[in-house]
Amino acid sequence: MQKLDARGVPCPKPIIMTKLALEEDPVVSVTVNEEALEDLKKLADKLEGTYSEKKLKEDEYEVNIEVKDTVEKDQPIEQAPNQNGGGTVIMIGKKVMGTGPEELGTILMNGLIFTIDQTAPLPSSIIFYNDGIFLTTKENDALEDIKNLADEGVEILSCGTCLNYHDVEAELKVGGTTNMYEIFQKLGKASQVITLE
């Protein structure tokens, strides 16, 4: 049995941590906060496993999930060719996700980028523009996951005009710069475009 501690870990990390553990061991015990319970229950149902939870104290639970056999691993990370277009292109135009409170938007954006990094197939390119370029130029919780994506072959690009406008071109921490012509070419050749604003 694997034991995990995911207390204080934002969504979707407890679910991904648990699924990865179930790929190695059919029984996993994970300590989580209340907000992760429903998602872990859904994971157990999806994997046709058994689920039990025990309240340890206020907002702290021990969840046990058991599956018949170890969970099949996701297929190896694949991606479509990125240099000549094709594949999925993700456009990120803000440093936060959505229009609600900035703190919540930051949590959501970090969770999304972590999920992209952990899920197959990977996109061929991620293009950061407008305020999204602050995710590639400033220290933030998503930066390591963006660097991991680059290491896995995802083309990470930041809009050069946006970098110049905000005077942060020298602060680029991952990937390269691009221009509107290149962006338009990539969008035209992409099999799928996902835009986050």
The Cβ-side half-sphere exposure at 101, using a 13 Å CA radius, reads 3
- Report strand pairing: 88-92 vs 192-196: parallel
Beta strands of 58-124 (E only): which ranges?
Answer: 60-66, 88-92
Instruction: Using CB atoms within 10 Å of the CB of residue 23, give its burial: 0 to 12 exposed, 13 to 18 middle, 19+ buried.
Output: middle
pLDDT at 73: 66
Would you tell me the crossing angle of helices 37-46 and 13-22 to the nearest 10 degrees? 30
Q: What does the DSSP 8-state code read for residue 132?
A: G
Assigned token pair, 1: 């049995």
Mean predicted confidence (pLDDT) in 43-53? 92
- Which amino acid would we find at residue 19? K
Domain ranges of the chain: 2-66, 88-196
- At the topology level of CATH, where does 2-66 sit? Translation Initiation Factor IF3 (3.30.110)
Beta strands of 12-49 (E only): which ranges?
Answer: 27-32
| Least-confidence region, from 78-82, 139-143, 180-184 | 78-82
CATH code reported for the domain at 88-196: 3.40.1260.10
pLDDT at 82: 45
Mean predicted confidence (pLDDT) in 1-19? 89
pLDDT band at residue 83 under the 50/70/90 scheme: very low
8 Å CB contact between 127 and 92: yes
The Cβ-side half-sphere exposure at 127, using a 13 Å CA radius, reads 26
CA 90 to chain centre: 12
Assigned token pair, 188: 């035209």
The model's pLDDT over 18-44, given as tens digits with 9 standing for 90+, comes to: 999 999 999 999 999 988 898 899 899
